[in-house]
Amino acid sequence: MGLKNAECTYCTNSRTFGGNKRQVTDGRDMPPEARRELVLEFVVHHDIPLPPLAIWAGLNRQHRVTFSYRTMQNILSDLVDNGDLFKVDTEKLRDGEISQIEGDSSSRRAYYFATEQGIERIENKIDDK
């Protein structure tokens, strides 16, 4: 799973967001769909289950996004609802298994991982560039 040897297009595509990892990617000026793509691409690129705070901190560090942690949580929820990400069962993760949480997951600490659909969405976006 995940993109192999692919760089984040938001880091490498200077026409999109400046082309420099350390350059500001102001999330307030970024359309909502671009925010969702950036979050999804970050999760796909890292290819490991990640908690929301690590995703937000990584985006902040690598892309200098200025959208809020709460906005990022809403984006994660949208991506799950859309079928691009799933919440990982942390009990099974302790045994090295990456699988989706079954049933009500509101009481469990959430980690997120890309679905095949989410990976294909990012791969297709990269192929279109």
Residue ranges covered by each domain of the chain:
9-128
What digits encode the pLDDT tens for the residues 40-71? 999 999 999 999 999 999 999 999 998 999 99
| pTM of the predicted structure, to 2 decimals | 0.77
Q: Please give the Cα distance from 38 to 15 (Å, whole number).
A: 15
Fill in the amino acid letter for 104: D
Provide the pairing of β-strand 85-87 with 112-114.
Answer: antiparallel
Q: What is the DSSP string of 86-127?
A: EEB-HHHHTTT---BPPS--TTSPP-EEE-HHHHHHHHHHHH
H-helix or E-strand spanning residue 86: strand 85-87
| CB 13 within 8 Å of CB 129 | yes
What digits encode the pLDDT tens for the residues 84-122? 999 999 889 999 999 998 876 555 578 999 999 999 999
- Write down the CATH number for the domain with range 9-128: 1.10.10.10
Reduced to 3 states (helix: H, G, I; strand: E, B; else coil), residue 67 is coil
